[in-house]
Amino acid sequence: MKYIGTGMTSLTNRQLAAGKGTFVADYKPEGMLHMAVLRSPYASARIRSIDTKAAEQMPGVVYVITGQEVAANMNPIFEAYDTAAMGAKGVKWYALVPERVRFVGECVAAVVAEDKWTARAAADAIEVDYEELQPVTDPEKAMEPGAPLVEPEWGDNILVTRDFRSGDPDKAFAEADGTISGVVKQHRYTGAAIEPRAYLANYDPYQDLLTFHASTQNPHPMRVFLAETLGIPETSIRVIQPHVGGGFGLKIPTFQEEPLLAYLARKLQRPIRFVAERTEDLLAGGHAREERLYYEVAYKKDGTVTGLRAKVIADVGAPSALCGWGQSFVTSYCIPTCYKIPNNRVQLFSVVTNKCPWNAYRGYGKEAASFMMDRIMDNVARETGLDRAEVRLRNYIQPHEFPYSQVSGAMLDSGDYPKALRKVLDMIDYENFPAMQAAARKEGRYLGIGIGQELTPEGCSMPRSTLLGGWDGCTVRVNPSGQVTILTGVTSPGSGNETAIAQIVADELGVSIDHIKVIQGDTDTCPYGLGNYSSRSIIMGGSAAKVAANELREKMLKVASKLLEVAPDDVDAEDDKFFLKGAPTRFVTFKEVASTVYRDCHGKAAFDVEPGLEATRYFKHPNVYHQPDTQGRFSSYPSWPNQAVAIIVEVDPETGKFKIVRYCAVHDSGVVINPLLAEANLHGGFVQGIGGAAFEHLVYDESGQLLTTTFMDYTCPTAVDVPSFEVAHQETPSPFTPLGTKGVGESGVTGPLGGLCSAIENALADRNVRLTELPLTPSRVWEAISAAQGGNR
Amino acid sequence: MISREYEFHAPKTLNEALSLLEKSGGNAKLIAGGMSLVPMMTLGLAHPDAVISLNKVPGLDGVKEDGGVLAIGAMTRHHVLKTNPLIAQHAPLLAEAAKYVGDVQVRHRGTLGGVLVHADPAADYLPVCLALGAQIKLQSAKGVRTVEARDFFKDIMTTSIEDGEILVEVRVPKLPAGSGSSYQRLHRVEGNYAIVNAAAVVEPGKKKGRVALGGVGPTPVMIDVSAHIASGVSDDALRRVSDAAFAAAENAYGDLNGDAKYKQAMARVYAQRVVRAAAAQAQ
């Protein structure tokens, strides 16, 4: 059988469904200690002094550490994203803050104790004398002259700016039939993995080896970061990633707790574990998304958009070593997404404030660009009187126009946006919706339909990055008994890429998947690789596996052909056999060929092949351009999956509450290896997208206190709050990868943002409601209805 | 994480529980289902020196008929309220409200008494108990006293229960046959607290009725709507009910779910909805 294209359940199901997975918190080595962290209660403050006496005297406390010791003995945390290479400002961020705290939740001191309760109680007994400083918590206020500075030595609060231009926007606006200006506001939210951040550090002084079990997405980069931050050799560290209970980008290094725990384990020479509490993760586990996008568009009365000026203002929180701020760059990079607008100016202002730093979160800034373009297309439709779908169809980049270079330098690989939109409109019966809407209205029900268009570039590759690279490695090993071991440089946060990679290798070698074992997430056994992010595990990891398996296939075909006494070109492989093409009854088994290579390398059949059946190969994506052009632009995303969604909602205009009646999506991530797991991934993306669009919100007050520190306040939807999803795939293969894959992991989070705004406005079309800001909570929708009615209710 | 040490007691009789409570000098907390107390302790918002469990005390749970009244033990779990036939027959509002509390696990742990003493302003049972005219029975070493539900809630998470007292029973008058009642709530996700909730009772003949609202101020509020509906439950009557609800919600305050203005507006919407539904049911 062929495996690629087959929707099979994950190879990890048996273990995980039985509750027999192994997560960091399941490891309890003998003599294990626990670390608890004392966090800053202030958004901005100077540390005058720290008194650790009371904590040190508590029974069971082993060690208390503050920022002074950290700064004297460790380097600043190595940057996940090379700020200098990106023309951005950086900071020296230590594992514990020695002098000045810049957000509530920043690590100030830590306690190591015999049990976790003692560690917590002792951390709380540390007395810190703070001098409170004026915080800045609004990005536009932070841009004003005289604003309090998050980093005084910077001179301002701007981390990076970008300014991309194409064509002649001024001329386009002068010659337009009409112009529209507006803003869309995306609020601060984040991913909420079931498993919080968790690490276990264990140092063996006799081997000089620190074994670091981490709920991480990137074992090899993490080893680099730990080595550089601690100033020790990479070879003295082994990072192991056990099962991970959700990542979504937020388990990408580098957090303060990681090098801190590694340092303490080496110093105390005892195993130490840190498992974050939910509140700690909400405070300091990485935030994302908070952006305001101001726009002006010029259009012709036929609905063609001829000019766009966009200004992105991103509140990336306090500067850190985390890679999250890059999301603001990616928002500006994606504009104007899948639309062909000849004249553009796109500006980015990435602004720091006294809030939690961003870390990567599924979507990575792409969602905001698509959200803004969806709002723009709906507004152009309203002003021109054209249908919302028609306006999109008139502005799409056409399938024959790829590769297509956008204003930012982004090089879009391929796609068929009109076909996907038409298909999803068919699925939801867009044509007959007005009749359905009118019938419902007669019963007093307010139905609306909306369109969301998502463009989710993947395979992120940034210049000089330790973390973000457009390549990865894979080892495929055929064992003497004919079983196959795959070792990957990519990792799985629970999303199933191990299964898809096994499917790719199974097809390439013609071996049944039952004979394959996949090993991931261990720097001592797996080939060097960059782990999991940017939907790269199949794009990069799957391609590397394909290339490595192909090398073994060629070798085994050669041996098989000798055994069959035919030419290698006449032999094919499938179902654990090498057989003569056209005469499948003439075969040798896969096992026999493997055995021949290992056991008979001086014999006739294997005489002229190299012994062993193991190949490590690396795949580098060809659609990346790092040589900057005259505007300083470069192309960092090689793969461009996309999706059209159509959503029907029912709105209660009295309360502002809505429910999703139907949710249809047509997704194009190129060739799909495993449709079942791809769809499962999409379902998760849709729920996170709906969560972001309507429920989840990290709310700060003006003093920089986070008000949403538990799931009671940080409202996540659950299965009962979301609809059933109807998904269809469209396959526009990537021209650049061996299998045509494009990556699916991040997709799904974007469609609900514009799609729900569009649907709610449509339901309330006769009231002329305008939605520009997320989340779409009942009170916000109600306020928009009130505002449309002149505020009189 | 609860990092402070505390004593834990699991008395086997009510007298033992009362004497432990007495001895603690006000620094003990009673625990029933623990669905509110444990999160409060985890977040460091409550740090009792002692926790006294009522789970091993017999006789504090279950629904019994006592003439025209349902006597509901304080330790009765939400799941029981949701499924008990006596509740369904004589106080269906309680069953309606119980459906919304938390999730399946919470409904099997959490208790009626626990919700009432915790007194979250948006808790489901608060307006229901007001609308049903429930009485709260409190016992201390000194004896028993009974408080009307409408007098029980004093402020946000503050009740008239005193040190040394245990809420032992909720006494709910049976609704007369032919009554109509309705409980509805506005919430963002299943299992979360309501933003605004409302319970209405319309008496047989549809001339008299009352509506109680939660989430629109520090304590639930009740409105007698008899004057508005006396000459029929017309659109005009419902508009007057709405206006009365709006006025009664004058102490609404804003939170992450919406500002005071929104809460007050929702009082209007939900009062009207529950009265309309209850009237439709009444005979």
DSSP letters, B34-48, are: -TTHHHHHHTTS---
| A557 and A603 together in one domain | yes
**Number of domains forming the structure of chain B:** 3
Q: B193 to chain A: nearest residue by CA?
A: A712
Percent of chain A whose predicted confidence (pLDDT) is above 70: 100
B4 interface with A at CB cutoff 8 Å: yes
Clarify whether residues B166 and B98 are in a common domain.
yes
pLDDT in tens, A421-460: 999 999 999 999 999 999 999 999 999 999 999 999 999 9
Do B67 and B44 belong to one domain? no
Is A779 in CB contact (< 8 Å) with chain B? Answer: yes
Same domain, A391 and A477: no
> Is B180 domain-assigned?
no
Residue A539 pLDDT level (bands cut at 50, 70, 90)? very high
Q: How many interface pairs between A and B have CB atoms less than 8 angstroms apart?
A: 58
Which positions in chain A touch B39 (Cβ < 8 Å)?
710, 712
Q: In angstroms, rounded to a whole number, what is the distance separating the alpha carbons of residues A291 and A359?
A: 14
pLDDT of residue B26: 81
User: ipTM more than 0.85?
Assistant: yes
Taking CA atoms, what residue in B is nearest to A711? Answer: B192
Question: In chain B, what residues touch A793 (CB-CB under 8 Å)?
Answer: 265
Residue A212 and residue A336 in one domain: no
B216 belongs to a structural domain: yes
**Dist. CA B166–CA B31, nearest whole Å:** 11
Quick: pLDDT tens for B9-21: 999 999 999 999 9
CB distance B262–A721 less than 8 Å? no
Mean pLDDT of B46-65: 96
Q: Which of residues 159-198 of B touch A (CB under 8 A)?
A: 186, 188-193, 195
Are A712 and B186 within 8 A, CB to CB? no
Its sign, for the CA torsion A467, A473, A479, A482, is positive
Can you tell me which residue has the tokens 């991934």? A681
Residue A444's contacts (CB-CB under 8 Å, 6 or more residues apart) are none
Task: Classify A498 in phi/psi space as left (phi over 0), alpha (psi -120 to 50) or beta.
Answer: alpha
Q: Identify whether residues A431 and A483 lie together within a single domain.
A: no
pLDDT(A674) > 80 = yes
User: Is some CB atom of chain B closer than 8 A to the CB atom of A118?
Assistant: yes
Please tell me the distance from the alpha carbon of residue A36 to that of residue A261, in angstroms, as a whole number: 10
Q: Distance from B97 to chain A by nearest Cα, in Å?
A: 18
Over residues A315-357, the pLDDT tens digits come to 999 999 999 999 999 999 999 999 999 999 999 999 999 999 9
Partner residue facing B188 (CB), from A116, A120, A715:
A715
Specify the range with the lowest mean pLDDT, choosing from A384-388, A587-591, A743-747.
A743-747
Residue whose C-alpha is closest to residue A629's, from A414, A466, A411: A411
In a domain, B23, yes or no: yes
Q: Which of A121, A708, A716 sits opposite B256 (nearest CB)?
A: A708
How far is B91 from chain A, CA to nearest CA, in Å? 27
Domain assignment of residue A147, yes or no: no
Q: Do A715 and B189 touch (CB under 8 A)?
A: yes
Residue A691: DSSP 8-state:
I
Q: Is B258 in Cβ contact with A117 (below 8 Å)? A: no
CA A615 to chain centre: 29
Whether residues B77 and B165 share a domain: the answer is yes
Q: For residue range B255-264, what is the model confidence (pLDDT) as tens digits?
A: 999 999 999 9
Tell me if B257 and A721 make a contact (CB, 8 A cut-off). Answer: no
3-state secondary structure of A309: strand
Confirm or reject contact between A697 and chain B (CB < 8 A): yes
Per-residue DSSP letter, A621: -
Please name the helix (run of DSSP H) or strand (run of DSSP E) that holds residue A379, with its range, or none.
Answer: helix A366-384
What is the model's pLDDT at position A470?
A: 95
**What is the span of the domain harbouring residue A358?**
291-461+629-788
Do residue B207 and residue B168 come from a single domain?
no
Q: Are residues A80 and A126 in the same domain?
A: yes
- What would the mean pLDDT of A477-506 be, rounded to a whole number? 96
Q: Determine the pLDDT at residue A791.
A: 58
- Whether B256 sits inside 8 A of A717 (CB atoms) is no
For residue A18, the model assigns a pLDDT of 95
User: Nearest C-alpha of chain A: how many angstroms from B141?
Assistant: 36
Q: Are B189 and A721 in contact (CB < 8 Å)?
A: yes
- Residue with structure tokens 């009671």? A712
Interface contact B1-A716, CB threshold 8 A: no
Is A379:A372 a contact under the CB 8 Å cutoff? no
Of A625-634, A682-691, B128-137, the poorest mean pLDDT is in A625-634
**Confidence check: pLDDT of A107 > 60:** yes
Domain-located, residue A372: yes
Looking at the structure, do residues A437 and A487 belong to the same domain, yes or no? no
pLDDT of residue A342: 97
* Domain final residue, candidates A229, A260, A284: A284
pLDDT 10s digits, A180-196: 999 999 999 999 999 99
| Whether B39 and A712 lie within 8 Å, measured CB to CB | yes
Side-chain-side CA neighbours of residue A143 (13 Å): 14
Query: Are both A374 and A511 inside the same structural domain?
Result: no
- CATH of residue A207: 3.90.1170.50
Residue type, A135: P
Residue B19 lies in a domain: yes
Tell whether B104 and B33 lie within a shared domain.
no
Residue B99 lies in a domain: yes
Does the distance separating the beta carbons of A279 and B43 come in below 8 Å?
Answer: yes
**Secondary element (H or E) of residue A15:** helix A13-17
Ordered alpha helix ranges (H), chain B: 14-24, 37-42, 78-83, 85-90, 92-100, 104-109, 112-118, 125-132, 149-152, 226-229, 235-248, 260-281
pLDDT exceeds cutoff 60 at A706: yes
pLDDT, mean over chain B? 96
pLDDT at A534 over 70: yes
Instruction: Give the model confidence (pLDDT) of B216-254 as tens digits.
Output: 999 999 999 999 999 999 999 999 999 999 999 999 999
Residue of A nearest to B102 (CA): A712
- For residue B33, the domain's CATH number is 3.30.43.10
Query: What pLDDT score does B106 carry?
Result: 96
Alpha carbon of residue B126 to chain centroid: 3
- Do B3 and A778 count as a contact with CB atoms less than 8 A apart? no
Check B256 against A655: CB less than 8 A apart: no
Average pLDDT of A770-774? 96
The token duo for A252 is 């990408």
Distance (Å, rounded) from C-alpha A586 to C-alpha A593?
14
Nearest CA in chain B to A722: B189
Q: Is residue A335 part of a domain?
A: yes
- Whether omega before B58 lies within 30 degrees of 0, making that bond cis, reads no
Q: Are residue A305 and residue A434 in the same domain, yes or no?
A: yes
**H-helix or E-strand containing B165?**
none
**Does residue B78 sit in the same domain as residue B40?**
no
Boundary of a domain, candidates B143, B173, B203 = B173
Parent domain of B246: 195-281
Rounded-to-integer distance, Cα A303 and Cα A478, Å: 58
Do the bridges between strand A209-214 and strand A237-240 make them parallel or antiparallel, or are there none, so unpaired? Answer: parallel
SS3 assignment, position A189: strand
Using CB atoms, pick whichever of B3, B258, B262 lies closest to residue A117: B3
Percent of chain B with pLDDT over 70: 100
Q: Inform me whether the pLDDT recorded for A635 exceeds 80.
A: yes
CATH of residue A327's domain is 3.30.365.10
Domain boundary among A620, A646, A675: A620
At residue A437, the 3 state secondary structure works out as helix
A592 exposure class (CB count in 10 Å sphere: 0-12, 13-18, 19+): middle
* CB within 8 Å: B189 and A717: yes
Q: Quote the tokens at residue A675.
A: 């449709």
Over residues A46-51, the mean pLDDT reads 98
What's the longest Cα–Cα distance across chain A? 92
Among B40, B256, B272, which would you mutate to test the A interface (most chain A Cβ atoms within 10 Å of its Cβ)? B256
Q: Do residues A221 and A86 both lie within one domain?
A: yes
∠ at Cα A70 (A66, A73), nearest 5°?
145
Joined together, the tokens standing for residue A463 give 């210049």
Domain tally for chain A? Answer: 3
Look up residue A285 and give its DSSP letter: S
Nearest C-alpha in A relative to B272: A654
pLDDT tens string B61-99: 999 999 999 999 999 999 999 999 999 999 999 999 999
CB hemisphere CA count around B169 (13 angstroms): 22
Which candidate from B1, B193, B258 shows the least CB-CB separation from A779?
A: B258
- Has residue A6 been placed in a domain? no
- Measured in angstroms, the CA of A429 and the nearest CA of chain B are apart by 29
pLDDT band, very low/low/confident/very high, at A86 (cuts 50, 70, 90): confident
A555 and A446 assigned to the same domain: no
Mutate to test the interface with A, among B99, B261, B262 (most CBs of A within 10 A): B262
Q: Where a domain ends, among A620, A652, A684?
A: A620
- Distance CA(A355)–CA(A103), nearest Å, equals 5
One domain, residues A316 and A424: yes
Query: Which residue in A695, A699, A779 is closest to B189 by CB distance?
Result: A695
**Residue range A288-317: mean pLDDT, rounded:** 98
Task: Give a yes or no: residue B29 inside a domain.
Answer: yes
Neighboring chain A residues of B43 at a CB cutoff of 8 Å:
279, 710
User: Residue A227 and residue A232: Cα distance in Å, rounded?
Assistant: 5
Based on the fold, state whether residues B161 and B230 are members of the same structural domain.
no
Q: Is the pLDDT of residue A634 over 90?
A: no
Residue A792 has pLDDT above 60, yes or no: no
Shared domain check, B151 and B77: yes
Per-residue pLDDT at A200 exceeds 80: yes
Scanning every residue of chain B, which has its alpha carbon at the shortest distance from the alpha carbon of A694? B188
Q: Which residues contact B181 (CB under 8 A, 6 or more apart)?
A: B92, B93, B96, B131, B175, B199, B200, B201, B202, B278, B281
pLDDT at A405 over 90: yes
A415 and A485 fall within a common domain: no
